[in-house]
Structure 1
Amino acid sequence: MQISTPIVRFFGPYLPYVVMLLLMLVLLSASRIGLFIWQFDRVSAAGDIGTMLLQGVRADLIFSGLWLIMPLLLAPLLAGKKRFPLWRRFSHSWVLLGLCLVIFIEVSTPQFILQYDIRPNRLYVEYLKYPKEVFSTLWQGYRAMLLGGVAITALLLWGLHRVFSRVTAASQPYSGKNLWLTWPLAVLLVFAAVRSTTEHRPANPAMFAITSDALVNSLIINSPYSVLYAVYNMKHEAHSGEIYGKLPDEEMLQLALDWPWLKRQRFNDANLPTLHYHQASVQRDKPLNLVIILQESLGATFVESLGGVPVTPQLEQLKHDGWWFEQMYATGTRSVRGIEAVVSGFMPTPAQSTVKLSLSQHNFYTLGSTLTPLGYNTSFIYGGEAHFDNMRSFFTGNGINQIIDQQHMTKPVFVGSWGASDEDLFTAAAQHFDDMHQQQKPFFSLVFTSSNHTPFEFPDGRISLHEQPKATMNNAVKYADYALGKFIAHARQQPYWQDTLFLVVADHDNRVYGNNLVPVEKFHIPALILGADLTPKQIKPVASQIDLAPTLLSLMGISSRTPLIGRDFSVDDTSPGRALMQFDQYFALMEEEQVTILRPGQPAVSGQYNPEHKQLQLHTQAPTAAQIERVLAQVLLPSYLYRQQQYHLASQVP
């Protein structure tokens, strides 16, 4: 590669970085154009493609500028004549590292989009904490993609290494005077690229959300910038709700608790603002046992009667035997988000789930906080390794006194990338429940399935496959449904059945995607309460996962003080309901069919959701200030309770 002498002299020690900048712009723009072509129908429907491409270059300049900050800070120390050999070696390594990140993350972007319908974000980084599970999943389910991505990255880097060996060798130091004269100009240019605006706040990914389609908004920026910004935002988790705005604490609490089912409750403890006495609607001489079966990735899209694919025949039969929620909605798109909602009744925030955050590892409310002091054996039963997603730490620190995971399962019939099969899981659970019953000890268990998880591994000969090949989402769901049906059939024959409530509910859907700003239809999940003496019925109003805990305690016959603010459907199962949904950086409150969405750095929007057509129609008129404050309070409350460590019982002292 020949570089003319005037160019070498002009750019001097900055020559490798100028070439890097140009290459990054070319690579990122080429990737964006390819993704636009792939998703052309959604991109063309969302807005002007030319404008989006230009905005994309702006985002690329931001990321490139961020990558230039480190060498720019070191330039006065290393780019002079005396240390120039060291500067060349550093520049060569830094440039290749930056290009390696760009290439690898962009190459892996299509597969991430297929799974999450959005560019790589914080999930891309979070999963790196669990290399065993992640690598096993990639190797079993995405081997071609993994090997292809590594090969493409390695091939391109080899070529870039050869190119930049010549570029860095051709670079020349400035004289001392020229270095100090040009350095402020370089700082100014990089600062302008990173800030990208003269407005009060610098540019961020929210400024590129210019369409009503979340995927298209993410395609406008680039994946390395998306990941980098997500990592940066992790340090603000305690105040995560404030990305949408702020309210005085007193006003926030008043608005957040302004729901019909909370009107008669008395919140008397200023240090525990949601703590109140919850009177059970069902009186029992002996409270019931409780088993929560949290089904991995079982969205309504897999339940025929909820408008999905017919791959859950067992669940379809069981729904006639208990309380069936027709409009239950998940709070998020991750398993740990489902856990915090179902077991803790905790509302979603833009931060990580409280299962993973430091201040909630002790003295944070779960159903175990109520049931353990009442003499219940409380357990978490999981076919994989319980340390995954920090579940073991969260449960053992918050009222769950027994963990049963893969290492406790003797001779499992099938073990996949994510642990023992659902059949092995339910075998272990059934044995545990039988032991507790024989000991005449009440029990509460969270049983968390995993067979319906990519790469969709399950034992042969159990089901008639819904489709070919075997390792598909629909087949895995059908197997998970088979294992569930087999377990419930067994439990019905056991003496503890009449003394036990069973909740079957999904943590989230498998793939949360769609051309809505918030894909409400992909938050729709099945939920069923059965067992004991329940009279079967269908519950039609909109409901949220956070409504399940207070409802279950009521049906169990347990009156107690709790911080739960969900709705007890055993008291009222007909009046209008609401659901809270966190999707990436967007927070949505749905009250029946009216949806209001908060966006960081942008005005809130509202719309009408049609559950029959699964479509969210945004209004042209902005929501009122009162509406926005009401929704804002819902997302500020959990952030406040977490930060102040005020989501626990009075007997628990942080």
Structure 2
Amino acid sequence: MKERLIGWIKTYFLFVFIFILQKPLFLLYYSALYAETAWTDIFRVIWNGLPLDFSLAGYLTAIPGLLFIVSAWTLSATLRRIWRGYYLFVSILLSVIFVVDLGLYEYWGFRLDATPIFYFFSSPKDALASISVWQMAGGVFAMVLYALLLYILFLWIQKGIWRSMKLPYRRLSVSGVMLLLTGLLFIPIRGGFTVSTMNTGKVYFSSNQRLNHAAINPAFSLMESLSKQKDFAKQYRFMEAAQADELMKTLVDPMVADSIVTVPDTLRTSLFKTERPNVLFVILESFSSRLMTSLGGEPDIAVQMDSLAKEGVLFTNFYANSFRTDRGLVSVLSGFPAQPTTSIMKYPRKTQHLPAIAGSLRDAGYRTKYYYGGDADFTNMRSYLISSGFEAIVSDEDFPVSERLSKWGAHDHLVFNRLLEDMKAEATGDTGDASAADARPFFKVLQTSSSHEPFEVPYRRLANDRLNAFAYTDSCLGDFVRRFRELPQWENTVMLLVPDHVGAYPEYLDNQTIERYQIPLLLIGGAIAAPRHIDIYGSQHDIAATLLAQLGLPHQQFTFSKDMLNPASPHFAFFTVPDLFGMLTPDDRLIFNCEAAATVLDEGTAKGKNLLPGKAYLQKLYDDIAKR
């Protein structure tokens, strides 16, 4: 029995040792992010991260514990092969998780969750498009090397255990003791005997969010994220349902609360000079307010956007709902806020029940079409777009192979050219089908992709590859607008320019800062009544209600979307990323960490005012998802 007991203990603490060692490696890899932290913080990170390490070590020791029980009855070669196979699987799994997490943290600002798995299985090609060949080769090499080192370590420890083990005389007694020990793993797995079970929030110990992130075990974070993907009705239970309902009444648009409400003409702000203009959305990959001098950002990057801002309607306190395209698209096109633990686009059976601008405009007599140079099947995008009401989708497969030179498909200038050629054909009636004589207004959406990693674009104006990629997309937009002005549709068109999210610049994004989510919202076109700046607070999911209200169309089905230009609407911005939600108003800018149950940012003249409303909003959002 002694040798099995010692072997069991060695196995458990070997896993703990591996997880402990990963933390200084993570800090070393991101030394630039942790340059101002004290050397003692390394020990604080390790110490406070132990609960997750103990818990995951418990999960991984469960199968060896069962194998120790079997070893009381047989020491066959088959048992040893099973043992070696398990350690090989664990070595590969831990290696892949650690290396992928190490590569993604720079861009996402939080530890690994289920998001990359969803991206990979929806379209492996697009999931890997952000990575250069050398990065991929380096990552694979690192995974193989780390997995090999782990496997050698496991076998070295196990070899000593095998050498000392013999078949015991009291097999039942030995089996019973080992079964009891394996059962006791429930304690570290659960995190003790308290009411709350183990979760990533238990390792949060610092006001410095990056130190908290360093303490998280990425394998545990991934496992926890996977377990939360479908149990929506039980997530984010901050308060009793009745209290959440009451708070939610103060956070919705008046039309949602009362479908017959009207805004007096004296209070209505009209941005358009025509009743039914064409509507063209351009969704700009990863753009942020930091790229525009007109929003206090860097000079000489988005020079075309800055120029267009002088003639259009610019919202200066506008925010992205999240950090990835799939979340941003649903927010922009369906007026539905992003979620911190999942992406609703993963679930076609739920997205088919979401309201959508395309569906509302199609019902109002608009033609609808979507343009994207990449794979429209990535992240279930095609199913979402079709169920949203888009009658036609142009994607990478509609461009010749010779034009699919980007890792994401066709470069932005080619997608803009395709849209322009289609509109020229519509203007002249030379479309080759019955739609040539279609006089209905159009709703078109163009989604760019070139300003995404790996920033390889057919353009060079700036030395920095990231900024140059943004400058390229900006130049494509400027060239498109210049040529579009020459078409007859321009005078009756509203172009809405909005990013899908903030990404890539600044190089290291901090999820705890307000600037991480600030984006431009710019309306231009011949149908715009007059240029102006609007400082009302809003988010991507408010575009739906605001646009439909401007068109005189109902929007009560967009439960979470608010007409930003209605004085009676509540005016706030809301965003989420894994771990966090933010709610911003002129008098309180608040970010709350849900895992740590702690406010990480609270500034303004009415500090704390947005905490309960923000919690209620997130709770009701998950109630809504659960019902769809």
> Which TM-score bucket, shorter chain as reference?
0.7 to 0.9
Distance 1:388 1:222, change over 3 A: same
Report deviation, 1:408. 1.3
Distance 2:510 2:401 in 1: 46
Deviation larger for 536-545 or 136-145: 136-145
Q: How does 1:66-77 map to 2 (within 5 A)?
A: 66-72=59-65, 76=69
Deviation larger for 102-111 or 91-100: 102-111
Report deviation, 1:266. 6.3
Query: Which of 323, 333, 344 pairs up with 2:334?
Result: 344
Where does residue 452 of structure 2 map in the other structure?
453
| TM-score, length-scaled by structure 2 | 0.87
Distance 2:50 2:311 in 1: 57
Where does residue 6 of structure 1 map in the other structure?
none
Report deviation, 1:559. 4.7
Where does residue 551 of structure 2 map in the other structure?
556
2:405 paired with 1:422: no
Note the alpha carbon deviations across 1:175-227, whole angstroms, 9 max, x for none: 42233331243134311221223321122101112223333212112211111
Question: CA contact under 8 A between 2:328 and 2:338: conserved in structure 1?
Answer: no
Q: How does 1:492-511 map to 2 (within 5 A)?
A: 492-511=485-504
Which AA in structure 2 matches 1:200? V
Where does residue 220 of structure 1 map in the other structure?
215
Query: Which of 253, 269, 273 pairs up with 2:245?
Result: 253
Q: How does 1:358-437 map to 2 (within 5 A)?
A: 358-410=348-400, 413=403, 415-437=405-427
2:572 paired with 1:578: yes
Where does residue 615 of structure 2 map in the other structure?
632
Calculate percent identity across the aligned residue pairs: 22
Question: CA contact under 8 A between 1:550 and 1:568: conserved in structure 2?
Answer: yes
Report deviation, 1:31. 2.0
Distance 1:628 1:526 in 2: 25
Distance 1:298 1:328 in 2: 13
Where does residue 648 of structure 1 map in the other structure?
none
How many matched pairs? 606
Where does residue 596 of structure 1 map in the other structure?
590
Report deviation, 1:567. 3.2
Where does residue 439 of structure 2 map in the other structure?
440
Question: CA contact under 8 A between 2:332 and 2:543: conserved in structure 1?
Answer: yes
Equivalent position SS for 1:138:
coil
Note the alpha carbon deviations across 1:451-497, whole angstroms, 9 max, x for none: 011111222xx442x115xxx21111111111111111111111111
* Unmatched 5+ stretches in structure 2: 430-437
Report deviation, 1:422. 0.4
Question: CA contact under 8 A between 1:195 and 1:202: conserved in structure 2?
Answer: yes
Report deviation, 1:561. 4.8
Distance 1:276 1:293, change over 3 A: farther
Query: Which of 488, 492, 501 pairs up with 2:481?
Result: 488
Question: CA contact under 8 A between 2:4 and 2:68: conserved in structure 1?
Answer: no
Equivalent position SS for 1:542:
strand
Which AA in structure 1 matches 2:319? Y
Report deviation, 1:104. 3.1
Distance 1:363 1:243 in 2: 22
Distance 1:154 1:554 in 2: 57
Which AA in structure 1 matches 2:216? I
Query: Which of 463, 467, 470 pairs up with 1:467?
Result: 463
2:89 paired with 1:106: no
Which AA in structure 1 matches 2:515? E
Which AA in structure 2 matches 1:288? P
Distance 1:23 1:330 in 2: 43
Report deviation, 1:583. 1.9
Note the alpha carbon deviations across 1:3-23, whole angstroms, 9 max, x for none: xxxxxx6232872x5444333
Distance 1:257 1:403 in 2: 37
Query: Which of 322, 328, 342 pairs up with 1:332?
Result: 322
Deviation larger for 516-525 or 319-328: 516-525
Equivalent position SS for 2:128:
helix
Distance 2:327 2:76 in 1: 51
Distance 1:50 1:161 in 2: 25
Distance 1:488 1:134, change over 3 A: same
Distance 2:359 2:441 in 1: 15
Distance 1:430 1:395 in 2: 21
Question: CA contact under 8 A between 2:311 and 2:524: conserved in structure 1?
Answer: yes
Note the alpha carbon deviations across 1:336-385, whole angstroms, 9 max, x for none: 11111111111233232322224423232000221112222212211011
2:181 paired with 1:181: no
Distance 1:206 1:422 in 2: 41
Equivalent position SS for 2:501:
coil
Report deviation, 1:281. 5.7
Query: Which of 22, 26, 29 pairs up with 2:17?
Result: 26
Equivalent position SS for 2:590:
strand
Deviation larger for 497-506 or 413-422: 413-422
Question: CA contact under 8 A between 1:414 and 1:424: conserved in structure 2?
Answer: no
Question: CA contact under 8 A between 1:278 and 1:559: conserved in structure 2?
Answer: no
Distance 1:606 1:82 in 2: 55
Report deviation, 1:643. 2.0
Where does residue 627 of structure 2 map in the other structure?
644
Which AA in structure 2 matches 1:319? A
Report deviation, 1:302. 2.2
Which AA in structure 1 matches 2:78? L
Which AA in structure 2 matches 1:96? L
Distance 2:404 2:562 in 1: 39
Question: CA contact under 8 A between 2:496 and 2:521: conserved in structure 1?
Answer: yes
Equivalent position SS for 2:538:
strand
Distance 1:440 1:539 in 2: 33
Distance 1:132 1:453, change over 3 A: same
Equivalent position SS for 2:388:
coil
Equivalent position SS for 2:353:
coil
2:145 paired with 1:156: no
Equivalent position SS for 1:321:
coil
2:279 paired with 1:287: no
Report deviation, 1:139. 4.0
Where does residue 109 of structure 2 map in the other structure?
117
Where does residue 44 of structure 2 map in the other structure?
51
Question: CA contact under 8 A between 2:590 and 2:603: conserved in structure 1?
Answer: no
Report deviation, 1:528. 0.4
Distance 2:246 2:39 in 1: 38
Distance 1:227 1:477 in 2: 32
Where does residue 91 of structure 1 map in the other structure?
83
Question: CA contact under 8 A between 2:352 and 2:384: conserved in structure 1?
Answer: yes
Query: Which of 228, 236, 243 pairs up with 2:236?
Result: 243
Report deviation, 1:228. 1.4
Which AA in structure 1 matches 2:199? N
Report deviation, 1:285. 6.9
